Structure 1
Amino acid sequence: MPLDTYGVLSGTLRSHFRDQPDTQGQWFHVNLEVDAPAGRYRCAVDVDSKESATGVRWKAFVLAASVLDPLPSLAPGYHDLSASSGSGAVDYLRHPALADRPGCLFVRRPPAWLQSLLDRFEPPRPWVSGSNLDAAAALEPILVPGRPILVLGQPFDHGGLGMHNIHQNQGDPYGSRWWADNGTWQDGATFTRRPDGRYDVFLNRFSSQADRTGPDGHPL
């Protein structure tokens, strides 16, 4: 079954810090401190590779606020989201604004001449692979204190307000401990609003997770 709760936290970024070796627990996170009406949330962005030794994968880019509707218009605070297109939920593999190539109309790779033209007008957004420290370094430039922030994932309230599962939440392989959490339209993400109104986007996933999934979120 998919995650039992999923939603978005809208707030103001206060600060961030990395887990330290003596406090990080089993996985390594970049922790975001976000102020919202209910209090200060700790949002743990998981940038560890879990089951794979080849590292975590991520991508960072900029989007217009309009393509993230209705998220930018939400009031500060936590909001549950239905796991469906149009609710504001995120799906790395299905959301048209988050695809590897935005607006791509081709199921198969187009001819080389057309591919070259597409690359000029719609640059591809490949996943970058690296260590947990590489991923942390890629995330931190968008973590500007005072920026409005949208954090998608799963809320928790043990030890204070917080959000976790801020990463892809589908495509985990059969037999892994995360197989039961697979589902579509429930991926985590970090969006911070720039002064010009656009959003910096950071998406993160694990190299053990599949690039294609079925309607249940399991690997194809």
Structure 2
Amino acid sequence: MPFQRYGVLSGTLHQHFRDTPDDEGAWFHVNLRVDAPDGRYRCAVDVDSHDSATGVQWKVFTVDAAALGPAAALAPGYHELARTPASGALDYIRHPALKGRPAWWATLPGWLRKLLAPLVGPALPWTSGSNLDAALALEPILAVGRPVLVFGEPFSAGLGMHNIHQNQGDPAGSQWWAENGIWQDGATLTRRPDGRYDVFLNKFSTQADQTGKTGHPL
């Protein structure tokens, strides 16, 4: 089933640092310390495995605050989000601001999007590389003192966020198949001085780029 909890943390970036490989398990992270009214959160952004063949993919781009809907106007703190387009939730596949598509694109059924894709033009491409490449792509937008929005699943205990990556499209047979769902993707956004947001999206090479209404691969 999809995550029981999903939301966004609004706060101020205090610090960021990479995992020390000897101190962590298979999954490598860039960690953010984010200040919010109830304390300092640790946000673990997955940038792939340092000891497996699973690849990581990412995009870095900038969007207007208005393109993010209600999420950009939330007060500092953690906020639960409904798994719907109107709540401010993110979906890499369906959210127009995350695809480089016109706003009406997300309202079309999947078969029609596939048919029209050659006419509309390509979406923003994914970049593939190592966990180090992904970390190097993320870190330039992590300016200390910037307001941040971190989307994902809150820790079950303590202040923190994880599953800060695509949370749909995992293949049948994988340990994450049951957590597939739409409008529950994680992401890292930092607000620029001009009010726009720099966006870092990240997914694993095994995750599909097209999913059905349950978040499973098509």
**Which TM-score applies when normalising by structure 1?**
0.90
2:91 is aligned with 1:91: yes
CA contact (8 A) 1:51 1:208 kept: no
Hey, what's the Cα distance between the residues in 2 that align with 1:97 and 1:5? 23
Deviations 1:28-84 (A, max 9, x none): 000000000110000000010599725200000000000011111101000000011
Contact 2:26–2:49 (Cα < 8 Å) also in 1: no
Aligned length: 209
Distance 2:54 2:2 in 1: 26
CA contact (8 A) 1:170 1:218 kept: yes
- The residue correspondences of 1:75-114 to structure 2 (distance < 5 A) are 75-99=75-99, 101-103=100-102, 107-110=115-118
Q: 1:218 to 1:110 in 2, by over 3 A?
A: closer
Percentage identity across paired residues of the two chains: 68
* Equivalent residues of 2:54, 2:204 under 8 A apart: no
Which one has the bigger helix percentage? 2
Query: Who is 1:204 aligned against?
Result: 202
1:158-215 Cα deviation digits (max 9, x unpaired):
3x31000000000000010000100000000011000000000000000000011000
State the secondary structure of the residue aligned to 1:151.
Answer: strand
**What is the letter of the counterpart of residue 135 of structure 1?**
A
Q: CA RMSD in A?
A: 1.9
TM-score (norm 2): 0.90
User: What residue in structure 2 maps to residue 136 of structure 1?
Assistant: 135
Give distance in 2, aligned partners of 1:168 and 1:152: 10
Deviates more, 1:44-53 or 1:73-82: 44-53
Distance across 1 between alignment mates of 2:159 and 2:54: 32
Is 1:2 aligned with 2:2?
Answer: yes
User: Shift of residue 26 of structure 1?
Assistant: 2.2
Distance 1:109 1:200 in 2: 25
> Could you list the runs of 5+ residues in structure 2 that have no partner in the other structure?
106-112
User: In structure 2, how many angstroms separate the alpha carbons of the residues matched to 1:195 and 1:129?
Assistant: 29
Give 1:157 shift.
4.5
Structure 1 residue ranges, 4+ long, deviating more than 4 angstroms after superposition: 49-52
Question: C-alpha distance in 1, partners of 2:77/2:206?
Answer: 33
- Say if 1:83 and 1:188 are closer, same or farther in 2 by CA, change over 3 A: same
Q: What is the letter of the counterpart of residue 65 of structure 1? A: A
1:103 Cα shift?
A: 1.3
CA contact (8 A) 1:52 1:207 kept: no
What are the equivalent positions in structure 2 for 1:29-40 lying under 5 Å apart? Answer: 29-40=29-40
Q: Is 1:180 aligned with 2:178?
A: yes
Q: Which amino acid aligns with 2:116?
A: R
Structure 1 CA distance for aligned equivalents of residues 52 and 168 of structure 2: 16
Q: Is residue 69–residue 88 contact of structure 1 (8 Å, CA) maintained in 2? A: yes
Gaps of 5+ in 1: none
